[in-house]
Structure formats: structure tokens, C-alpha cells
Amino acid sequence: MSGVLNEKYFSKNMTEDILCFLEDSLPQCRNVYFPYHIDFAAVTGYDEYNGEYSA
């Protein structure tokens, strides 16, 4: 599992809670190596193009 989460809405504690939820919900995931890498990023702006406009 990997990804980037907006630090405005997510925290390390939340990702740990998600992993615990998965282990509790899917018993076959218990005691299994479950690698993950989550980056927390601050969004300073964005650019969007949805294909609806033509030049």
C-alpha cells in the first residue's frame, strides 16, 4: 500500500488505525507482512484540466 495523503485531513495515527481495521476485518491479514509507504503532503495549490473546454 502506498500513496500521498493531504496532511490537512490525515495523520499518521489515522493510517495506523486503518491498518488495524484491515487486520481486524480480514483475519487472513493478521501477522502477515504488510508493507506500506505513505507520504503526508501540504497542498499549496493545484492545476486542473477536465477536458470540457476547448481553446
Q: What is the grid cell recorded at 48?
A: 486542473
Secondary structure E strands in the chain: 2-6, 37-41
Q: What is the largest CA-CA distance in the chain?
A: 55
pLDDT of residue 33: 83
- What number is the average pLDDT over the span 46-55? 79
Cβ distance 36 to 1 under 8 Å? Answer: yes
pLDDT of residue 55: 59
pTM equals 0.58
pLDDT in tens, 3-48: 999 999 999 999 889 888 988 898 887 888 878 899 999 999 988 8
